[in-house]
Structure 1
Amino acid sequence: MSKVTSAEVAARAGVSQSAVSRVFTPGASASKQTAEKVRKAAEELGYRPNVLARAMVSGKSRIIGLVVAYLENHFYPEAVEKLSNALQERGYHLLVFMASQTAGDVSGVVEEILDYQVDGIIAASVAMSSELTERCHKAGVPIVLFNRSQDTEEVSSVASANVAGGRKVAEFLLAGGHRKIAYIAGWEGASTQRDRESGFVARLQAAGVALHARGVGNFQMQTAAEVTRTMFAEDPPDAVFVANDHMAFAVMDVLRSELGLNVPDDVSVVAYDDVPTAAWPAYDLTTVRQPANRMVAETVALLLAEIDGEGVAPRKIEIDGPLIVRGSARIPEGWNE
């Protein structure tokens, strides 16, 4: 069967071919009567507009490329869904590309994305080198980092206030009387990991409390479980701040199921993200909430402003998130935040 053309739709609807094009072009002007006739004819004939062909003519694909390193962390599938929905509301579609956290792999994936003639790129859970950022700028493709930041002023980024979040956790644990406080880090190449730990340790030091123990979980459940076994083998801490919820679930499983410890009577566990699983009774996890809705809204607004050529300078946006107190950590007396 041959594909139905716009000319056939125009003939059936009794309008010009340009009118058909306007009806199926987002933002183009067409009267309500014309649109109804065209869409009725298109449905009867089984016509679908050729989005790729239109993109070649207009120079706009209305596709946004998303680079993400991993989806095991429940924060990212939720964020991807929110990004996709927010972009669709603005007439754009999300094309997802997976990459590892290595600079070489990210570079290769971004080069591949550019071949798809995307209008913009969102880089989530990956870092962009200055050379790669410059390559995208030369191609006229704006980038926004999501849940990451970089020292460079050349690229926009949106993240939660990670330093402040780490500080909130330290204040909460100190107020609960903890002094043997440990930290399980994520991937050390991530700005989120660096900033959460920085705020956490700085606040402990300001109170005259040294970090009791430290391990690196690399944002992976299995690695975090292994770190927990080692950390609690001798002189165990009485509280642990875990760099994200994903690892914290594994930490809690090991503490309770393998080591026979009570959470929070024997050890308090606090994490970061507040993914839906954190509220499950099985974990009831105290954690810093990443304000995903606001982060997504700011990311989309920044990216589309750059795509529309509004001359906006790159911006770094940090959005504060609250500490959600549940049952996995000792609640300080009189705590009301």
Structure 2
Amino acid sequence: MNDGPTNDLKNQRKERMRFVSAEQVAQLAGVSRSAVSRTFTPGASVAPATRERVLKAAEELGYHVNDLARGVLANQSRLVGIVATRPEVGFRAHLAAALSKALIQRGSIPILINTGQTEEEMLAAQKMLIGHRAEATIILSGSPPANFFELAHRNGQPLVVIGRSEPDADHVRAGNSEASRKAANAFFEKGRRKLAVATSFSATSSIAERETAFKTAAEALGASVAIGRGKDSDYDSGIAAAKQLFASAADYPDAVYCANDQIAFGLMDYVRTTLGLSVPDDVAVIGFDDVPEAAWLSYRLTTFRQDPIVMAQRAVELVEKRLANPDLPPAYERVIPELVVRDSFVP
């Protein structure tokens, strides 16, 4: 059996898959391997003529510095972990995209870890990032256990959490309370008295803060507040919350504050399609996040805008400050959302 040609093809493929090495650049440029290394090391001393030959050879061969190997030798890297549960859903998708772009502009390499909320899953993600010498971790969701933070601190890895409150970490949070109180006041000023909150059992700190602040402010004004919950903070939960809130025709709420836009979309579709109610005439709706779908003609949702670009920039700034000065006390950045008025409710 002659398998020579097959093996030759395999070897050729393997050869093509190899990255260009610094040794190859050195051979083509006629210089030493260390001269190539110095050429691509900022601040290193190398003769102008040597530098020119090395750069010309590198361009001809398509050579790029092995940043991963360099990071391993320096016991650090430009890797930054982005840890999120269901990063493809709602506002998290836009925030993850904005973080990736901001980190790349900084010169970092973002790694998205799609993990669950169990202790085992979170610790596995953290060990992976520590093992790859990630210089920081940004957490978008989930409830990291205490061991998660202890492991990061023992390895000198900065942690930034977005939309959560965790000890010994830097924080970026939206002004949930401010926005929620504004929503309650806006409904009340338009004569809405039978108010409701559509939320979820996920009970993240941001979701809980929005619910509590709205309910407290509305009841202080003298309005009644009903609560409807779904399993998670998504479209299906909006439908589940709507079924609870509109179970009795004699007691329909006339305004609903939704913990996020995904919940608002589900609720609006249910009350209009299933119950035949009008938004905003029969029931006014305010959401939270201002994802792109909020502007669609199907929804035209009035909502509080969280700007993912601003939040990403704040998170990256906190990473840089922590790397520059590891002994700083935990930082708290608060971004106040703006009310974007559309058709579902006009103050």
Task: State TM-score, norm by structure 2.
Answer: 0.87
Match 2:264 to one of 245, 248, 271: 248
The one of 69, 80, 101 aligned to 2:96 = 80
Map of 2:232 onto structure 1: 218
Aligned to 1:158: 172
Identity %: 34
Equivalent residue, structure 1, for 2:164: 148
Deviation digits for residues 123-171 of structure 1 (CA, Å, limit 9, x no counterpart): 0022333332111100121110022223x3x111101111111111111
Q: Note the alpha carbon deviations across 1:60-104, whole angstroms, 9 max, x for none.
A: 221001110113433122111211111111210111111123344
1:292–1:10 CA distance, 2 compared to 1 (3 A): same
Cα deviation per residue 1:298-335 (whole Å; 9 max; x = unaligned)? Answer: 10011122223453321121111111111012x23xxx
The residue that corresponds to 2:182 in the other structure is 168
> Quick one: distance in 1 between partners of 2:185 and 2:170?
30
- The answer to whether structure 1 residue 324 and structure 2 residue 316 are counterparts is no
Tell me which residue corresponds to 1:227.
241
CA distance in 1, matches of 2:100, 2:283: 39
Give the distance between the partners of 1:127 and 1:20, measured in 2 at CA. 46
Scaled by the length of structure 1, what TM-score is found? 0.89
Provide the aligned C-alpha RMSD in A.
2.3
2:57 aligned residue (41, 56, 67) = 41
CA contact (8 A) 1:186 1:244 kept: no
The residue aligned with 2:12 is none
Which of 128, 133, 149 lines up with 2:149 in the alignment?
133
Structure 1 residue ranges, 4+ long, deviating more than 4 angstroms after superposition: 22-25, 27-37
C-alpha distance 223-33 of structure 1, shift in aligned 2 (>3 A): farther
In terms of fraction of residues, the more helix-rich structure is 2
**Aligned amino acid, residue 237 of structure 1:** P
Deviation by residue 1:22-66 (Cα, 9 ceiling, x = unmatched): 5545x5568898766534322322333323211111112210011
Between the aligned partners of 2:51 and 2:175, the Cα distance in structure 1 is 46
Query: The residue matched to 1:212 in structure 2 has which SS?
Result: strand
Structure 2: gaps (5+ residues): 1-14
- Aligned match of 2:314: 298
The size of the alignment, in residue pairs, is: 328
Return the letter of the residue paired with 1:248: A
Q: What residue in structure 2 maps to residue 265 of structure 1?
A: 281
Distance 2:243 2:53 in 1: 68
Q: Alpha carbons of 1:197 and 1:77: their partners in 2 closer, same or farther (altered >3 Å)?
A: same
Give the Cα separation in 1 of the matches to 2:45 and 2:305: 44
Corresponding residue of 1:335: none
SS at 2:107 equivalent: coil
Q: In the alignment, is residue 185 of structure 1 matched against residue 199 of structure 2?
A: yes
